[in-house]
Chains A and B, each alone.
Chain A
Amino acid sequence: MKLAYYPGCTVRDKAVHLDETTKASARELGIDLQELENWTCCGATYPLTEEKIANLVPQIRILRNVREGGNSQVTTTCAFCYSTLKRANRAIAVDDLRRQRVNAFLRDDDPVRPYKEQTQAPADYEGEVAVLHLLEVFRDGFGWDRLAKATKKPLNGLKVAPYYGCKLLRPPKEVAFDDPENPTIFEQFLAALGCEVIDFPFKSECCGSYLALSAPESASRLSHLILTSAVKSGAEVLALSCPLCYYNMDLRQRDISKSYPGFQHVPVMFFTQLLALALGLDEKVLGLDLHYVDVRPLLRQKNLLQ
């Protein structure tokens, strides 16, 4: 199984443990992730006004490079990257004006692609690459059964609440990832790893997103709501896929403790960390020292870590 991998900016700096565990797990599972060469920022947020057509250029350049690199699928783990790439891809496919404008812009764009010297600009990009979240790769390509079989150290007894956040699920017509109100893909993933899956009512509520900068107290309020609800439902650890959710759930617990006396820390993990753990990969790969709320005591208690 071979597909292109788009890491995204945050996983190379603030969320290296997401990137490292993704790559190591894929290797272990025999999935050939081909990291896109010379990738650039995806733009982080999808442009929501009719006039910001130029803001679609980065995503389309990325997707065109996927195609030019000989891949028809690209996967990513960051929910923001997934959302912007997937929505831009759809916009290009369904919207003639956007397709023409963006391609016209990219025609003059000299692709810096040392692996393939070209004198001509590549053909227009029309949305032909499939954008997949890594969870979709498991669901639709790899298969849950196969994943469960590949699990060497099933995470039995670990009570994990899956947290979807906003970007994976919404707007449902554009991302079409799962049922927007009652999604199950994350649950199926965790079940394949052997976790005890904890359902809780705020698994798709917003964490406050980039309001982390402009309204940090709102982000604290929302993260507090989500974390306490997960714990109340019986979760020992929260699993997620978005580095920004991770920031708002993990490091923010420092502020939450200040604003909400009596708040007990809850560890938060990337879904790929759980995957790497279940695959029995070396602890060094997991990056467990990078968390604000240390997850290691819990994992040791559950005999999942030396």
Chain B
Amino acid sequence: MAQVTADVEAVRGRLMPERAGQHGKVLLAGKVVNSEFAERVRSLSGVDPRECYQCGKCSSGCPMTPEMDLIPSQVIRLLQLGQEQDVLGCKTIWLCASCFQCYSRCPKGIDFSRLAEALRMLAMAGKVEYLAPEDVPEEVLTEVPQQALVSAFRKYGL
């Protein structure tokens, strides 16, 4: 898998240090599946991931899957199972460019980019920014269009 940037791994560690690549078994219980976290994701995103029947069409068409550690349908699956640490600690939510390709094709009308945005907010809440202005090299700052700066800091900043 292509390395995105060195910083992504570092920042991920900053955000969810306790997770750091665990792939243990999924422990299920009613209170896990129906957790406050699951409800928070639903209310924040306005999307109910429980409606997904896991056809995988989102992942099939997503332009960013090569860099993702979990494909979008897996993030939704883990959300259905209430696996907070996995979904908050994955790279995928930071790699969604909200191009809406998945949403425009989803047979259930699920907007994954909304879920990713909600998860980013929850991951950053009270913690650190994923992308701070000082993380961006000077020459990049002068080159990129304004809209990219505003968008990126809206998606990745506090």
Quote the shortest CB–CB distance from B92 to chain A (angstroms).
12
Interface size on A (CB < 8 Å)?
A: 47
CB pair A171–B149 under 8 Å, yes or no, is: no
CA distance A172 to B130 in the complex (A): 30
CB pair A247–B118 under 8 Å, yes or no, is: no
In this assembly, does A211 line the interface, its C-beta being within 8 Å of a C-beta of chain B?
yes
Looking at chain A's contact residues, is the secondary structure mostly helix, strand, loop, or mixed? loop
Q: A6-14, A123-131, A135-143, A279-287: which one contacts chain B?
A: A6-14
In this assembly, does B29 line the interface, its C-beta being within 8 Å of a C-beta of chain A?
no
A172 neighbours in B (Cβ, 8 Å): 104
In this assembly, does A275 line the interface, its C-beta being within 8 Å of a C-beta of chain B?
no
CB pair B63–A205 under 8 Å, yes or no, is: yes
Assuming the contacts A44-B154, A211-B95, A214-B131, asked whether A205 and B145 have C-beta atoms less than 8 A apart, the reply is: no
Q: Which residue of B lies closest to A45 (CB)?
A: B151
In this assembly, does A166 line the interface, its C-beta being within 8 Å of a C-beta of chain B?
yes
Assuming the contacts A14-B145, A213-B140, asked whether A218 and B46 have C-beta atoms less than 8 A apart, the reply is: no
CB pair B104–A210 under 8 Å, yes or no, is: no
In this assembly, does B22 line the interface, its C-beta being within 8 Å of a C-beta of chain A?
no
Quote the shortest CB–CB distance from B95 to chain A (angstroms).
6
CA distance A43 to B7 in the complex (A): 26
Q: A46-54, A108-116, A227-235: which one contacts chain B?
A: A46-54
Assuming the contacts A215-B67, A217-B2, A221-B66, asked whether A49 and B101 have C-beta atoms less than 8 A apart, the reply is: no
Quote the shortest CB–CB distance from A14 to chain B (angstroms).
4
- Proximity bits, B17-57, A CB within 8 Å = 1, else 0: 00000000000000000000000000111100000000000
CA distance A55 to B154 in the complex (A): 10
The one of B46, B114, B121, B145 that contacts A247, using a Cβ cutoff of 8 Å? B145
A window 181-223: CB within 8 A of B: 204-206, 208-218, 221-222
The one of A205, A214, A222 that contacts B5, using a Cβ cutoff of 8 Å? A214
CB pair B148–A166 under 8 Å, yes or no, is: no
CA distance A215 to B94 in the complex (A): 9
Q: Which residue of B lies closest to A174 (CB)?
A: B100
CA distance A171 to B67 in the complex (A): 23
CB pair A45–B118 under 8 Å, yes or no, is: no
The one of B4, B131, B145 that contacts A217, using a Cβ cutoff of 8 Å? B4
In this assembly, does A169 line the interface, its C-beta being within 8 Å of a C-beta of chain B?
yes
CB pair A209–B95 under 8 Å, yes or no, is: no
A residues near B (Cβ < 8 Å) are 8-10, 13-15, 41, 43-45, 47-51, 55, 78, 80-81, 165-166, 169-172, 180, 204-206, 208-218, 221-222, 243-244, 246-247, 251
